[in-house]
Amino acid sequence: MNNPYFNSLEPIWENPKFVFVDEGRLKEVAKDFAGEDLKTPNWRAPVYPESDDELFIDFLGLVDSINFCFTDMITKEKHELEWKNMKCHGSFAMVACLKRALEEGIPILDYQWLKNATLDDLSYIFRATHLIPLLRERKEIFNEVGRVLEEKYGGHFYNLFEEANYRAFTSDRKGIVDRLIRDFPSFFDVSWHEKSQTFLQFHKRAQLYAIMYQGRALDSKGKLSLIEDADNLGPPADYDVPRALKKLGILEYEKSLEKKIKAQKIIKKDSLAEQEIRAQMTYAMVELIEEINKIREANNWQKPKVNILEVDFRVWWAGKEMGTDEPHHLTPTIAY
């Protein structure tokens, strides 16, 4: 994987104290996954726009600008919405709220509306059974997105993709992910590592935007241009995938951290434990991708190489299949 931000996480991998990767178990899971026909999500669920066009790119950009923190840190209730006879939870509920706003004629993809959006506007858009947390922070991001799109990209995310020539990363840092983290402060997702005196670079939402776009583009029958270097996109370091990796036996937590997570105690943003959860998750996912591809090649199986699109979805789905009895870690943050 030729990802310019991946190796910044090495200080965590070299000497973890709280989160560990079971290499043997990782190889066992990779062997199981390698024999499957892994699916790429196409993001055509009812909550996404149906058309494969510029509207979808702009909608997805807005979605991933606020794709973080769906659990209330006090009540522990997850954002929930009843919509069109569906019960939506978490990020699915958030996207449903935005789709509902579009259908109601609220111009949420207009940069002028975004840069002037108020807290009352967002309270109405995200009305739900259980409210979405960090509403004020989301309002500030809407305003930021409107301003940056106006100043740099003619009011649209799709112009950013065009200017990046549909590459996620470039040597001069003008790719899709590069531009998102450079031009939109809220997309910039790093964490200061005290021991190494370096920044760990995660950039979860910027990479997730490119990953989700590529999933739809692959299913668009050529209507949407493909990202040329999608194989270099790294795992979106969130909270659900570490939980799934732990349930699979790939991640192991130090006892005091595990106890804290099970008790739903706050894991402080930028604490070493929180950094290790994200960094070790990233390492495990990249190793899983590489191991699956090695197994397929060694056995001469007639299966294509995989990348983060398929493996992230497969691990996430494995976590859902095994149930939600084990909680994910709780960290109040706009990063993920």
Q: Is residue 329 part of a domain?
A: no
* Residue 323, pLDDT above cutoff 80: no
Question: What's the domain range around 125?
Answer: 6-321
- Asked if pLDDT for residue 32 goes beyond 80, the answer is yes
pLDDT at site 38? 96
Q: Which residue has the tokens 């997570």?
A: 261
| Per-residue pLDDT, 283 | 98
Across 40-66, average pLDDT? 96
Tens digits of per-residue pLDDT, 243-271?
999 999 999 999 999 999 999 999 999 99
Domain membership of residue 116 (yes or no) is yes
The answer to the question of residue 336 being in a domain is no
- Angstrom distance (rounded) from CA 55 to CA 58: 5
pLDDT number for residue 93: 97
Report how many domains make up the chain.
1
What's the CA gap between 304 and 333, in Å, rounded?
37
User: Which pLDDT tens digit goes with each residue over 106-120?
Assistant: 999 999 999 999 999
29 located within any domain? yes
pLDDT for position 48: 97
Query: How confident is the model over 172-212, as pLDDT tens digits?
Result: 999 999 999 999 999 999 999 999 999 999 999 999 999 99
Is 327 among the domain residues?
Answer: no
- Nearest 5°: the CA angle 255, 260, 261 is 100
So what's the pLDDT on residue 1? 85
Computed over every residue of the chain, the mean pLDDT equals 97
- The CA distance from 212 to 13, in Å, is 27
- Distance CA(181)–CA(206), nearest Å, equals 7
Kindly state the percentage of the chain with pLDDT values over 70: 100
**pLDDT value of residue 186:** 98
Non-local CB neighbours of 125 within 8 Å, separated by 6+ positions = 97, 98, 100, 101, 106, 108
User: By 3-state DSSP, what share of the chain in percent is helix, strand and coil, each rounded to 5?
Assistant: 50, 10, 40
> Is residue 246 assigned to a domain?
yes
What pLDDT score does 31 carry?
Answer: 97
pLDDT over 90 at 313, yes or no: yes
Q: Would you list the DSSP string of 165-193?
A: TT-S--TTS-SHHHHHHHH-GGG--EEEE
Question: Is a pLDDT exceeding 90 seen at residue 142?
Answer: yes
Q: Residue 325 pLDDT more than 90? A: no
Residue 302 pLDDT grade (very low, low, confident, very high; cuts 50, 70, 90): confident
Give the type of residue at 234: G
Query: Region 111-132: what's the mean pLDDT?
Result: 97
